[in-house]
Structure 1
């Protein structure tokens, strides 16, 4: 798939490097672009035009009062995975915006969390071809025990940079 925006060109270039460099370079790029994700140390494990996998270690700076990853940090992880993937397809003359998120916390998280999401070819084409729209993205978030502590759904919108 061909990159259609600046972010996509950066990601495509990074993914052409040696595989062991992908995660550190993508994580650095993402952390610089989204300061809160950088502060929390969200790690980009995998990112291409169809799928994203990001992770968050259970470190003190993202913990709640019981020592697991804070609910807000879980939301950040899911938002980051879905937003980074959607952002690869929104043309440079549009702005991606988080419209809503629905998070149902169903279990206590144990250890590191991994967020995984994907887009179909139809969803990608819709994002690329529609000047103003939105799309619902499901994100699977699992912990070290392969338990899904939160059920996460994000709605991303995009609008033209210049209002008509």
Structure 2
């Protein structure tokens, strides 16, 4: 049996470089996220925070962080928060995402993912809305995503 995500994060985060190592492990499991080189800085029930460095590989032709890099960071933090928050026996998958670009994304960016309503267990599936706000170093929110997560029991219908 694999170690639950939140337990793994808590074990690694205590050590120097532990958050970086945790993020690398997540990116090994889901390699596409490695393209943005994120770093998960907070993971707890109902909250995930992560950062993204502004570097040439994630910029668009305007010299700002590319929209899809922001979407990747949003999906990563929303997924980790959901996974770390679900009751035993439940699973999730992203169902859809609405995004709003509010300002030019430059510099080190900080994402915060939180559920928009309480997470529940049950015998049927349901849609869980997750809000992810991404801010620049000055604290200006430059991007907001609303991600619909489909949450359902691991075994059975739903």
Task: Give the TM-score normalised by the residue count of structure 2.
Answer: 0.83
Count of aligned pairs: 154
Unaligned runs of 5+ in 1: none
Q: How is 1:15-94 mapped onto 2 (pairs within 5 angstroms)? A: 15=13, 17-18=14-15, 20-90=16-86, 93-94=89-90
SS of the residue corresponding to residue 103 of structure 1 reads strand
8 Å CA contact retained: 2:49, 2:113: yes
Q: For residues 17-62 of structure 1, what are the alpha-carbon distances to aligned partners after superposition, in whole Å with 9 as ceiling and x for unaligned?
A: 33x3332122112211221111220111111223211111111111
- Given that 2:44 and 2:85 are in contact with CA atoms closer than 8 Å, whether structure 1 keeps it comes out as no
Match of 2:122 in 1: 130
Unaligned runs of 5+ in 2: none
2:150 — aligned with what?
157
Structure-2 separation of matches of 1:162 and 1:10 = 24
Alpha-carbon distance between aligned partners in 2 of 1:92 and 1:6, rounded to the nearest angstrom:
10
CA distance in 2, matches of 1:106, 1:34: 28
Cα offsets for 1:78-126 (capped at 9, x unmatched)? 1111111101133565431111111011211121211012348x724x1
Residue 118 (structure 1) aligned with residue 114 (structure 2) = yes
Find the counterpart in structure 1 of residue 140 from structure 2: 147
Secondary structure at 1:88 match in 2: helix
Once the two structures are TM-superposed, the CA of residue 159 in structure 1 deviates from its matched residue by 3.1
Instruction: Give me the TM-score of the superposition, normalised by structure 1.
Output: 0.81
